[in-house]
C-alpha cells in the first residue's frame, strides 16, 4: 500500500470512526444506566436514516439539518417508550428488558419494510459525490461533514454529561444507583432521560450513516454487530473507552477495506469483539466490574 | 385415571396420533404445517434448556440453525451423505461450536452472553457469504432432490422432525429430573449462591448451551434438504430465533411442555396471518406482529400459559401439594 493511500485510509477511518463513536455512545450510555444492551439501537439508527431520507425526498430538507428534526422526535419517543414500557420492567429480571428491546428491533424493521419497502436506500444530496484534495489525499465531502458533525454532537454530549445537573445525576446513577438516591437523585426520571438521550444519539447518527452507507430494513443487524464490538472493546458503560474503540475500529475497518476486501471488513469488528471477551472481558477502559458483563 | 397417570399417557397418545396422521391426512399443506411446528417446538425446547432452566437468553440460535444447514448441505453436495444420516452429527457439531462460544461468553455473567450469541449469527453468515468457493456465496447452495414420488417426499421430513421433537422433549425431561437440571435452576435463581454451594456454574452453563443449540443444528440440517436449497439470507433469518423465544415465553419458560405448547399455538397462527395478509407486505406484517407479541408477553404474561395457569389453579386449591416437576420462575414464591 502506498503512503498516500495509507494516509487517506487513516483520514477516512478517523472520520467514519467519529460517526461510530456518536452512535455507540448512546448504546453505552443506555447500558451504563440500565445495565441492559439495547438490541434495538441500530434499528433506531436505521429508522432515523429513513426519516431523514424521507424528509429529503419530500421536502428537500438537507440530511444534516434534518438532525435537528429527528433528534427531538426520537428523544420524545424514547422518553415515552421508557415511561410506558421499560419502567415497568425495572427491578425485574434484566433479560426481560433485553427481550423487549429485541422486540422493538423487530417491530422497527417491520415498520421500515412496510413504510419504505425493503429496497436499498441511500441519502444522495447534490454534494454527495463531491470530494476535495488536500496534500494529495482525496476526502469525500460527506465523510468530512458527517465526521465533523458527529464530533461536534459528541462534544455536546460530553458537555451535558460533564457540566449539567442532569449529566451529574446520570453519572451518579450509572456509578451507584443506591447512593444516588440517597443524595436526592430521582432515579426513575434520570433513567428515562438518559435512555431518551441515548436514543437521541442513535437518531443523530441516522442521517450521517445514511449519507455514508446504503441501508435497508435489515441493515440494523449488521450495524448492531459493529456497535456491540465497539462498546465491548471500549469497556461497556465507558464513554471514553467507546470513543477510543470507535476510532480504532473505524480505522481498522478502513484499512481492511483497502488492503484485503470490503467483504471481510465486518470481520474486523467480530474479531475484536471475540478477542476482547477472551483476553480482557472488561474492555480497554472497563469501568464496570467484570461481574456485570 | 389420576391426573398423574393421564399426564404420562397423554403425550404418548399425541405421539401415536401424529405418527399415524399421514396415513389418513394426505394433504401436503397440513403435513407441512405440522412439520414446521415440530421443528420449531424441538428448537424451542432446546432454547428453553438455556433460556428457561439456566435463565440465560440466547439471541443466536439461528446461527446454529444456519451452520447446521450449511454443513449438512455441503456434506450432501460434496460427499453424498444424506441429511437423515448426518443430522445427528451436525447437531453434535453445533454442540461443540456452542461449547466453544459458551467458553468465550459464559465464564462471566449476563450481558456478554447476549452480545456474543447475537453476533455469532453474523459471523457464520459472513462466512457463508464470503467463502464463495465452498458455499456458493450469495447465490446459495443447491442440494440434490430426494429420489421419491412427489406426494411421498414430505414423509421422511415429517417423521424426522417429529423424531427430533421427541428426542428434545426426552432430553429436557431428563435434564429437569437430574442434579444437572437443579444446578441450572439454581444458577437462574441466584448464580452467586449456586456457585457458593458447589455448583460448577461455568461448566453447567457451557454444557447447557451446547445441548441447547444442538437441536437447532440438527433442525437446520433437515430444513436445508427439505427446501433442497440454502442461502445466507434464508439460513440466518433472525425471525427463527425470535420464534423460539416467543414460543418458549408464551408456553412458559423453564418448563418441559411450555415451548411445545407455544409452538403449537404460534406456528399455525403465524401461517394463518401470512395467509390472510397481502403477499407483498405479509413478511413485514408478520415481523411486526411477532415483535408486538414479544413485547406484550414480556410485559403482561412473562410466566407464560402453563405457569400462570398452574399458579391460578393452585391459588384455588391451596391444599393440593405443589408440582415438583415444574421449574419455578424468577420472582415466584416457593
Substitution target from B115, B133, B297 for chain A, most A beta carbons within 10 A: B115
Residue B143 clears pLDDT 50, i.e. is over it: yes
Q: B239 to chain A: which residues are within 8 Å by CB?
A: 106
Listed by number, the residues of chain A in 75-104 with a beta carbon closer than 8 Å to a beta carbon of chain B are: 85, 88-89, 92-96, 98-100, 102-104
Mark yes or no for CB contact A107/B291 under 8 Å: yes
Nearest Cβ partner of A277 from B112, B239, B294?
Answer: B112
Mark yes or no for CB contact B105/A277 under 8 Å: yes
Instruction: With CA atoms as reference, report the closest residue to B66 among B116, B125, B20, B15.
Output: B125
Q: A109 to chain B: which residues are within 8 Å by CB?
A: 287
Q: Where are the alpha helices (DSSP H) in chain B?
A: 3-24, 28-48, 61-79, 83-105, 111-130, 132-135, 154-177, 179-189, 191-196, 201-227, 232-235, 238-251, 258-276, 279-300, 304-316
Q: What is the pLDDT of residues B267-290, one digit of tens each?
A: 999 999 988 988 888 889 999 999
Q: What is the pLDDT of residues A239-281, one digit of tens each?
A: 888 999 999 999 999 888 888 888 888 889 999 988 888 887 7
What is the value of ipTM here, to two decimals?
0.91
Listed by number, the residues of chain A in 181-220 with a beta carbon closer than 8 Å to a beta carbon of chain B are: 217-218
> What's residue B328's pLDDT?
53
Tell me the whole-structure pTM to 2 decimals: 0.91
The nearest CA of chain B is from the CA of A171 a distance in Å of 20
Q: What is the pLDDT of residues B170-187, one digit of tens each?
A: 999 999 999 999 999 999
Q: What is the pLDDT of residues B110-131, one digit of tens each?
A: 788 999 999 999 999 999 999 9
| Sequence-separated contacts (24+) of B24-33 with Cβ below 8 Å | B26/B151, B28/B151, B28/B154, B31/B154, B31/B155, B31/B158, B32/B154, B33/B267, B33/B268, B33/B271
First to last CA, chain A: 39
What is the pLDDT confidence band of residue B329, given thresholds at 50, 70 and 90?
low
- Which cell goes with A217? 430494513
Mark yes or no for CB contact A270/B123 under 8 Å: yes
Are B279 and B334 in contact, with CB atoms under 8 Å apart? no
* Phi/psi of residue B14, nearest 5 degrees: -60, -40
Share of chain B above pLDDT 90, in %: 63
Higher pLDDT, B61 or A134: B61
Spell out which chain B residues touch chain A, with contact meaning CB-CB distance below 8 angstroms: 55-57, 59, 104-105, 107-112, 114-116, 118-119, 121-123, 126, 129-130, 238-239, 242, 245, 249, 281, 283-288, 290-292, 294-295, 298-299, 302, 330-331
Residue B27 clears pLDDT 80, i.e. is over it: no
Residue B332 clears pLDDT 60, i.e. is over it: no
Q: What is the pLDDT of residues B303-324, one digit of tens each?
A: 999 999 988 888 887 655 555 5
CB B22: neighbour CB atoms within 10 A? 18
Burial (CB count <10 Å: 0-12, 13-18, 19+), residue B178: exposed
Residue B4 clears pLDDT 90, i.e. is over it: no
* Phi/psi of residue B147, nearest 5 degrees: -90, 75
What is the pLDDT confidence band of residue B333, given thresholds at 50, 70 and 90?
very low
Average pLDDT for runs of 10 along chain A of length 293: 77 90 93 91 95 92 92 96 90 88 95 87 81 78 89 92 90 87 87 95 93 89 91 86 92 86 87 86 60 42
Amino acid at each position: 500500500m502506498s503512503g498516500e493511500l495509507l494516509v487517506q485510509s487513516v483520514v477516512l477511518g478517523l472520520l467514519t470512526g467519529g460517526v461510530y463513536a456518536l452512535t455507540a455512545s448512546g448504546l453505552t450510555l443506555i447500558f451504563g444506566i440500565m445495565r441492559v444492551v439495547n438490541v434495538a439501537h441500530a434499528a433506531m439508527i436505521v429508522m432515523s436514516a429513513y426519516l431523514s431520507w424521507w424528509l429529503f425526498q419530500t421536502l428537500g430538507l438537507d440530511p444534516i439539518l434534518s438532525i435537528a428534526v429527528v433528534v427531538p422526535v426520537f428523544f420524545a419517543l424514547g422518553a415515552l417508550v421508557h415511561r410506558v414500557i421499560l419502567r415497568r420492567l425495572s427491578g425485574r429480571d434484566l433479560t426481560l428488558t433485553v427481550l423487549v428491546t429485541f422486540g422493538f428491533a423487530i417491530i422497527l424493521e417491520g415498520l421500515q419494510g412496510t413504510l419504505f419497502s425493503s429496497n436499498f436506500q441511500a441519502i444522495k444530496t447534490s454534494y454527495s459525490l463531491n470530494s476535495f484534495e488536500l496534500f494529495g489525499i482525496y476526502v469525500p465531502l460527506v465523510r468530512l461533514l458527517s465526521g465533523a458533525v458527529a464530533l461536534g454532537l459528541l462534544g455536546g454530549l460530553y458537555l451535558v454529561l460533564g457540566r449539567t445537573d442532569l449529566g451529574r445525576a446520570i453519572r451518579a446513577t450509572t456509578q451507584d444507583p443506591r447512593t444516588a438516591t440517597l443524595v436526592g437523585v430521582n432515579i426513575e426520571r434520570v433513567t428515562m432521560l438518559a435512555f431518551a438521550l441515548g436514543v437521541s444519539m442513535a437518531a443523530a447518527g441516522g442521517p450521517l450513516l445514511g449519507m455514508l452507507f446504503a441501508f435497508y430494513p435489515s441493515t440494523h443487524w449488521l450495524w448492531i454487530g459493529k456497535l456491540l464490538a465497539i462498546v465491548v472493546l471500549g469497556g461497556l458503560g465507558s464513554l471514553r473507552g467507546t470513543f477510543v474503540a470507535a476510532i480504532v475500529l473505524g480505522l481498522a475497518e478502513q484499512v481492511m477495506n483497502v488492503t484485503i476486501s470490503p467483504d471481510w471488513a465486518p470481520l474486523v469488528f467480530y474479531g475484536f469483539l471475540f478477542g476482547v471477551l477472551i483476553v480482557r472481558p472488561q474492555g480497554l477502559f472497563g469501568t464496570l466490574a467484570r461481574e456485570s458483563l | 385415571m389420576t391426573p398423574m397417570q393421564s399426564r404420562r399417557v397423554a403425550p404418548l397418545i399425541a405421539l401415536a396420533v401424529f405418527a399415524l396422521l399421514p396415513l389418513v391426512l394426505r394433504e401436503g399443506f397440513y403435513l407441512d404445517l405440522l412439520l414446521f411446528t415440530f421443528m420449531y417446538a424441538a428448537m424451542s425446547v432446546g432454547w428453553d434448556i438455556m433460556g428457561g432452566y439456566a435463565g440465560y437468553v440466547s439471541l443466536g440460535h439461528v446461527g446454529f440453525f444456519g451452520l447446521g444447514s450449511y454443513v449438512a448441505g455441503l456434506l450432501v453436495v460434496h460427499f453424498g451423505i444424506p441429511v437423515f444420516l448426518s443430522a445427528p452429527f451436525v447437531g453434535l457439531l453445533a454442540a461443540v461450536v456452542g461449547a466453544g462460544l459458551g467458553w468465550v461468553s459464559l465464564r462471566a455473567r449476563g450481558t456478554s452472553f447476549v452480545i456474543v450469541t447475537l453476533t455469532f449469527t453474523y459471523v457464520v453468515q459472513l462466512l457463508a457469504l464470503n467463502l464463495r468457493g465452498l458455499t456458493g456465496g450469495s447465490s446459495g447452495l443447491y442440494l440434490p432432490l430426494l429420489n421419491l414420488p412427489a406426494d411421498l417426499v414430505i414423509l421422511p421430513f415429517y417423521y424426522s422432525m417429529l423424531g427430533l421433537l421427541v428426542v428434545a422433549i426426552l432430553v429436557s425431561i431428563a435434564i429437569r429430573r437430574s442434579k444437572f437440571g437443579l444446578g441450572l435452576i439454581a444458577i437462574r435463581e441466584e448464580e452467586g449462591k449456586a456457585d457458593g454451594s458447589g455448583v460448577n456454574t461455568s461448566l453447567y452453563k457451557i454444557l447447557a448451551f451446547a445441548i441447547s443449540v444442538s437441536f437447532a443444528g440438527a433442525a437446520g440440517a433437515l430444513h436445508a434438504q427439505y427446501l433442497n436449497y440454502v442461502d445466507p439470507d434464508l439460513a440466518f433469518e433472525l425471525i427463527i430465533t425470535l420464534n423460539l423465544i416467543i414460543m418458549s415465553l408464551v408456553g412458559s419458560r423453564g418448563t418441559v411442555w411450555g415451548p411445545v405448547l407455544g409452538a403449537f399455538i404460534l406456528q399455525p397462527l403465524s401461517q394463518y396471518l401470512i395467509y390472510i395478509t397481502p403477499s407483498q407486505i405479509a413478511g413485514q406484517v408478520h415481523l411486526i406482529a411477532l415483535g408486538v407479541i414479544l413485547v406484550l408477553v414480556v410485559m403482561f404474561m412473562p410466566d407464560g400459559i402453563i405457569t400462570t395457569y398452574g399458579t391460578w389453579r393452585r391459588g384455588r386449591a391451596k391444599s393440593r401439594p405443589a408440582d415438583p416437576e415444574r421449574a419455578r420462575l424468577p420472582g415466584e414464591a416457593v
